[in-house]
Amino acid sequence: MDTRFRSYKNHFPVLGKDVYVDASAILVGDITLGQDASVWPLVAARGDVNTITIGQRTNIQDGSILHVSRTSDKNPTGHPLLIGDDVTVGHKAMLHGCTIGNRILVGMGAIVLDGAVIEDDVMLGAGSLVPPGKRLASGFLYVGSPAKQARPLSDDEIAFLRQSADNYVRLKNDYLDELNV
């Protein structure tokens, strides 16, 4: 039995093609990973009271926590966790019931809370805090606690967002090759 994947109320993680999930990661419940996604050591993802969706070529790095918020009378849909394509989630980040667009870099130790939305092509600095319900507009670097718009991203930085995701696709392929030796 593979202890990385656990069901909750008849929901079991669903993995796309060529996904890598480290042996020390734990994925519980209603979680979907897109093609070429990677989940690295000591990640805990719990899709128990709502859903988690992780896009294609997205990497969730070591020690990150992914969770959701349940439905309630005030919030009938709760807050699922939606992570787009080509996202790099840095070490020890915490994503809770938020929406992360495409081509995002979430810096190490960053925290993004319920109902927050990060639009496409954004860099969120290490240790930043995105409060509940805040929206980060596309094309900027955000830093601080609470996160504030620091400056527009350069063309090189925007290109790096996809490059970072591509680097992790190559790395996870190396890990998958090692496992299949």
Q: Parallel, antiparallel, or unpaired: how do β-strands 148-152 and 140-143 relate?
A: antiparallel
pLDDT of residue 181 exceeding 70: no
pLDDT in tens, 106-159: 999 999 999 999 999 999 999 999 999 999 999 999 999 999 999 999 999 999
Pair of tokens at residue 74:
């005030």
pLDDT attached to residue 148: 98
Q: How does DSSP classify residue 122?
A: E
Q: Which residue has the tokens 């915490």?
A: 94
Percent of the chain whose pLDDT exceeds 70: 99
User: Torsion-angle region of residue 66: left (phi > 0), alpha (psi -120 to 50) or beta?
Assistant: beta
pLDDT in tens, 75-106: 999 999 999 999 999 999 999 999 999 999 99
Domains of the chain (ranges plus CATH)?
5-179 (2.160.10.10)
pLDDT attached to residue 180: 86
